[in-house]
Structure 1
Amino acid sequence: MSDRKAVFFDRDGTLMEEEDHCDCPTRVRAIKGVKEGLKQLKDAGWAAVIITNQSGIGRGYFTMDDFEAVNQELYRQIGGGIDGAYCCPDLPTNPTPRRKPGIGMIEEAVRDHGIDTRKSWFVGDKPIDIQCGQNAGCRTILVRTGYGAKGEASASPDFVVDDAAAAIQIILSHS
């Protein structure tokens, strides 16, 4: 295992505005402050990795190619800075170790990028994101964008902030 530190981000509702089963790049709207925050994170030597459940693929609403096209538009809007994106298309009714709150996608990222989860954070807008980060041994931040304000009471993150930009500032101040 490496000493590399990372921030694992949920995608929808965390880095981009929540769009129910977003299948089209024209629907992508990066959340304000993400571009600038990611640049600061990268300048400080952090890896940035997306960990996202995408049951719309498993339901047949869109394809993996559509998912990748949405990612590419998000990367364009936020100026890149993402080291990897991991997607689980499995349905919530048929959970697998890869589907959050399972840590399979994080384990893949750890292998691919030499990440130490004990030095890493998970930022997301749902309790399932917080559970995933905690299951992997990360510190966690719930953002109030997306579904975050609704799930705040049922999550037990290390921090709760308004958005990903504020989460990045917390991470940088604790490193």
Structure 2
Amino acid sequence: MAKAIFLDRDGVINELVFHPKTKEYVAPHFPDELKLFPWTIDAIKTFQQLGYKLFIVSNQPDCAKGKTTLENLNLVHEKLHKIFIENNIVISEYFYCYHHPNGINPELTQKCECRKPGIYFLKLAKKKFNIDFKKSWFIGDRDTDIYCGQNAGTKTIQIKEEKSLEYTGKSSPDFIANNLKEACEIIKKEGL
């Protein structure tokens, strides 16, 4: 069986963006808003060199909430994918949940199985790529990420992203790191 690292995106791989209209930090809505943290590429390359299959698992509810369009979100996803390809990083699969139970877009307003902390996407990865959750990690900045990893049986690392602090504090991750670079050091040390 293969080992994997499941990565949340916003606040872990890339910076959150402040939107003055809503006065909140959110995922990038446009490609030019996508800014990777300076350590992201090196950390993810190290995960790859350590033999982990890599997955992005991200809740992207802003279209459901009427804050942007699916077209704009897809342009952001395409830019991230292109950056990874240019840096010889292989992401086995990108999993994005566009739903939200309190949305305003009727097509995307629903309770679903794919929204974290649900493990629908992790189960898909396990089935398709023969993933061993006991040898795998989930890295995220919010409690929902940690719960997702724990619900699947992975080890968890919570990134202390100051712009996400209101969404943290209730979960008990296995480890806490300031950023993806520190998470990389933890995984190298723990060596699953």
Q: What TM-score results when the alignment is normalised by the length of structure 2?
A: 0.82
Greater relative CO (CA pairs within 8 A, separation 6+): 1
Residue identity opposite 2:63 in structure 1: I
The offset of 1:152, in angstroms, is 4.6
**What is the 5 A alignment of 1:136-175?**
136-145=152-161, 147-175=163-191
Q: Which residue of 2 aligns with 1:90?
A: 99
Identity of paired residues, percent? 30
Say if 2:135 is the partner of 1:119.
yes
Distance 2:6 2:74 in 1: 18
In the TM superposition, residue 60 of structure 1 has moved relative to its aligned partner by 3.9
Tell me if structure 2 keeps the 8 A contact 1:37–1:168: yes
- Any conservation in 2 of the 1:12–1:18 contact (CA below 8 Å)? yes
Residue pair 1:53, 1:87 contacting (<8 A) in 2 also: yes
The Cα RMSD (Å) is 1.9
- What is aligned with 2:119? 103
Choose 1 or 2 for highest CA Rg: 2
Moved more, 60-69 or 105-114: 60-69
* TM-score (normalizing by structure 1): 0.89
Structure 2: segments with no counterpart, 5+ residues: 18-25, 103-109
Partner Cα distance (1:90, 1:22) in 2: 17
In the TM superposition, what is the alpha-carbon distance from 1:82 to its structure 2 partner? 1.8
> Where does residue 41 of structure 1 map in the other structure?
47
Structure 1 spans left out of the alignment, 5+ residues = none
* Larger fraction in helix: 1
